Amino acid sequence: MHRTGAPVLRDSVEAGTFEDVFFATPAKGETDSILRAARRALDAGKRLRRDARADGRQLSGVEHHLAALTSGTVRVLEEILTLARLNAGRVYPTYEYLAEATSLGRATIARALHVLAAIGFVVRQRRFKRVEAQGPGPRYEQTSNVYRAYLPSCVLPYLPRWMRPAPVPDDMLQREADRVDDTKHMLSRLDCRDLALAVIANGPLAKILAKLGAAVDKREREYQNDLQPLMDSYIYPKTRVGLVSQRTNA
């Protein structure tokens, strides 16, 4: 229950406050690649169930989720990918819409979304929205979830070799490691102001951090430009007096 008394599911976020960051337009061919991987994962899940019954072994966590895949689950994912391709990644269908589009029951849709989220094919976020109501204070109600599709890395070992990404060559790995080391070395040589501007390119936060860094740099320079310590100040005049006396005697 929300503090106003309206029922709100756990981990829900208010609609309209995060969608611009959550959604992403899929790349060309990305949705097709995810769907092909899901269909291959469905076949892999069937093999895992068959081998587990034959050998009597326990499935791992990932294998258990893959074995739970069904054709209905892949059909739900196909509909989500279709919406992502047609709507530039903005996917927020209701259970009723998915049930009508896939000809599956609401309970089947709920189980399919749970399995897809457990494997990593989709990331979903619950939402709630404000509604008009009688009496003081805002009122809330649950609204449709938002979804974003991915190709999970845990599925790759169960896909055919031609569907897995090619391994990165060793020279590219070395170049990337050198680039990371060069970046760290460059950042270590920057003062506080330049470091703030390098880490945060622009915006009000960058200006605030740059101003704070400039103040820190100024304070450090003032410390470095201080007069000599007391012991050095005592030794230096005493040495100078000795040199003057020697010149006088000469």
Please give the average per-residue pLDDT across 71-95, as a whole number.
96
Query: Do 157 and 89 form a contact (C-beta atoms < 8 A)?
Result: no
pLDDT band at 244 (very low <50, low <70, confident <90, very high): very low
This prediction has a pTM of: 0.66
Please give the average per-residue pLDDT across 17-33, as a whole number.
94
* Triad 20, 23, 24: Cα angle to 5°: 115
- Residue 130 Ramachandran class (φ > 0 left, ψ -120 to 50 alpha, else beta): beta
- H or E element that contains 193: helix 192-199
Query: Do 154 and 101 form a contact (C-beta atoms < 8 A)?
Result: no
**Model pLDDT for residues 84-135, shown as the tens digit of each residue:** 999 999 999 999 999 999 999 999 999 999 999 999 999 999 999 888 766 6
Please give the average per-residue pLDDT across 43-68, as a whole number.
91
**Model pLDDT for residues 196-216, shown as the tens digit of each residue:** 666 655 566 666 766 777 777
Look at the alpha carbons of 143, 144, 145, 148 in this order and tell me if their dihedral is positive or negative: negative
